[in-house]
Amino acid sequence: HVTDCNADDCERAIKAASDAFPVWSETTAAKRGALLMTWHQKIKENVDLLAHLLTLEQGKILSEAKGEIHYGASFIKWFAAEAERAYGDVIPSNHPDKRMTVVKQPIGVCAAITPWNFPNAMITRKIAPALAAGCTIVLKPSDETPYSALALAYLAEEAGFPKGVINVVTAKDPVPIGEVLTSSPMVRKISFTGSTRVGKWLMERSAPTLKKLSLELGGNAPLIVFEDADMDMAIEGAISSKFRNNGQTCICSNRILVQDTVYEEFQSRLAEKTGQMKYGSGFESENSLGPLINKKALEKVSGLVEDAIAKGARLASQSDDDRNGLFFAPAVLTGVTPEMEIFSEEIFGPVAPLYKFSTDEEAVDLANDTRYGLAAYFYTRDLSRAWKIAEKLEYGMIGVNETAISNASAPFGGIKESGFGREGSKYGIDEYLNVKYVCFGIR
Ligand code: SIN
């Protein structure tokens, strides 16, 4: 059982964060960093429990849940160090009687609205930089996965964060909470990971108070396999990026584009491997995929596959191990074309649709033919092709012969309707800092 907070509770959380801000923002960066490291330590000591909780509420297999706890903790460690590196600047003066400097200051109360697909890591990726910068937080986790958020907050309290610095608002209905977070003049920034539709709603509602926003929204990642690719690497990359978290990440490869000369080979090898994948309870170690998050997700994935088949696609492989509940057997679809819904929709499920192309230009055009621009991947051994394609792909993140691109030191984020702002890396903390220019007259 989890508290179902309402709009008033959210107002109280904002007030608590606002009251805590003056002291927290003036706490030294070294002290904030040290507290973050204590929190990090506590998470590391509780990996097994946190992972168990995560699998229980989200469904991903336990090994992935453990991986997520380590991944989530890595953002805390990274930003604990970044706290002390939030340097300003001294600008060469344009006048003998002036000295010009820039200082960076915490924005204020920040809201983090986080998704269910990474119930731990998307929280730490947002709130660790905020806390490192000196901001205070109101966190609204997904109603599908409140427990991981509460467990993190519990450990943060044990680590010694002062009251009011981190506030968690759990609620069944996100709308009243979103309305309060967006309309409150006390909230100076919102960081959101979720759908493009909700991102636009938050942006519209934040306009009257001109909040700073970071929006990490939907994706439609292409994975391009050129004929000169190392086929073993390409298959391995396709499997891991497609089926990570049961296909439920914003950067899962959503469209696999394969050059016509190697299409048959790629398709049969991918289908064979996919057909061997086991799915079921995340607690059974033989499974590599768990359930989907809810019935709506299952209906969406099934609907996309049905539409593609009705328009001429073929299931090259799908385990016939039929199961009840929220399970979807991992599948490879061949003969998929841009006219099918699956080409433009984020699948968020374990279905790998294969498209055929002939030339590099065609591959780039197909890859860029989407309103999204989060992540893209391609496999080639030709260095000049690699440079050219990486430059032409309209995405915030590119994996060249690599699909495991996420880590705390890299800038995560998109362009186009995948949003803006960067998380992780040396850029991540800037999202929570104001740049203040201070000019000294020294006549
Ligand atoms: C996401 O799906 O939004 C996050 C994926 C990642 O951090 O790798």
Asked whether the CA dihedral 207, 208, 213, 218 is positive or negative, the reply is: negative
pLDDT > 90: percent of the chain: 98
Please name the amino acid found at residue 82.
E
Q: Which of 57, 82, 216, 346 is catalytic?
A: 216
Checking phi first, is residue 105 left (phi over 0); if not, alpha (psi -120 to 50) or beta? Answer: beta
Q: Indicate the top mutation candidate among 251, 348, 372, 409 to test ligand 1's pocket, ranked by most ligand atoms within 8 A of CB.
A: 251
For residues 319 and 269, the model is more confident at 269
Is the pLDDT assigned to residue 318 strictly greater than 80?
no
Instruction: State the Cα torsion 232-238-243-244 to the nearest 10°.
Output: 90
Please name the amino acid found at residue 55.
Answer: T
Looking at the DSSP bridge assignments, the partners of residue 223 are 256, 377
- Is 169:13 a contact under the CB 8 Å cutoff? yes
Residues 129 and 82: beta-carbon distance below 8 Å: yes
- Mean pLDDT throughout 15-32? 98
From residue 149, alpha-carbon distances to 194, 295, 351, 362 in Å are 16, 23, 29, 44
Q: If you ran DSSP here, which 8-state letter would residue 224 be given?
A: E
Ligand 1 nearest atom to the CA of residue 406, by list position? 8
CA distance 297 to 345: 13
Distance between Cα 251 and ligand 1 center (Å): 6
Mean confidence (pLDDT) of the chain = 97
Question: In 218-373, where do the E strands start and end?
Answer: 221-225, 253-259, 314-318, 331-334, 351-357, 372-373
- Band of the pLDDT at 320, cuts 50, 70, 90? low
In the beta sheet, which residues pair with residue 397? 375
Phi/psi for 276 (5° steps) reads: -90, -10
> Whose CA is closest to atom 7 on ligand 1?
406
pLDDT digits (tens, 9 = 90+) for 78-126: 999 999 999 999 999 999 999 999 999 999 999 999 999 999 999 999 9
Identity of the residue numbered 365: D
Is the separation of the CB atoms in 372 and 353 below 8 Å?
Answer: no
- What region, left, alpha or beta, does residue 260 occupy, with left being phi > 0 and alpha being psi -120 to 50 degrees? alpha
Is residue 321 pLDDT above 60, yes or no? no
Q: Is the pLDDT of residue 322 over 70?
A: no
Residue of 400, 368, 354 whose CA lies nearest to 381:
400
136-140 and 166-168: which strand pairing?
parallel
Q: Which atom of ligand 1 is nearest to the CA of 405?
A: 8
Partners of 364 in the β-ladder: none
Query: Per residue in 140-154, pLDDT tens?
Result: 999 999 999 999 999
Q: Which helix (H) or strand (E) holds 100?
A: strand 98-106
Amino acid 319: pLDDT: 63
Distance CA 268, CA 199 (A): 39
Query: 133 — phi, psi (to 5°)?
Result: -75, -20
- Record the tokens describing residue 184, joined without a space: 């409150």
The predicted model gives 178-192 an average pLDDT of 98
Share of the chain above pLDDT 70, in %: 99
Q: Closest ligand 1 atom, CA of 248? A: 2
b/e per residue 226-249 (b: at least 16 CB within 10 A): bbebeeeebbebbbebbbbbbbbb
CA Rg, the chain, in Å? 23
pLDDT at 215 over 70: yes
Q: Which residue has the tokens 């509602």?
A: 205
In the reported structure, the alpha carbon of residue 422 is separated from the centroid of ligand 1 by a whole-number distance in angstroms of 12
Alpha-carbon gap, residue 273 to 287, rounded angstroms: 14
Per-residue pLDDT reduced to its tens digit, 281-312: 999 999 999 999 999 999 999 999 999 999 99
Two tokens, residue 149: 């958020």
Mean pLDDT, residues 37-44: 98
CA dihedral 267, 269, 271, 276 (to 10 degrees): -170
Q: What's the rounded mean pLDDT across residues 402-415?
A: 98
Q: What are the phi and psi torsion angles at 102 (to 5°)?
A: -125, 130
State the DSSP code for 92. Answer: P
| Helix H or strand E encompassing 191 | strand 187-193
CA 248 – ligand 1 centroid, Å: 9
Q: pLDDT tens across 327-380, in order?
A: 999 999 999 999 999 999 999 999 999 999 999 999 999 999 999 999 999 999
Which residue type, as a one-letter code, is found at position 167? N
Backbone angles phi, psi at 282, to 5 degrees: -65, -15
Which residues contact ligand 1 via a Cβ below 6 A? 117-118, 193, 216, 249-251, 406, 412
Neighbouring CB atoms inside 10 A of 303's CB total: 13
Q: Which of 118, 126, 192, 240 to mutate to test the pocket of ligand 1 (most atoms within 8 A of CB)?
A: 118
**Residue of 168, 188, 191, 83 whose CA lies nearest to 129:** 83
- Using the mean position of ligand 1's atoms as its centre, give its distance from the Cα of residue 252 in Å: 8
pTM across the whole model: 0.97
Examine the pLDDT at 35 and tell me if it is beyond 80: yes
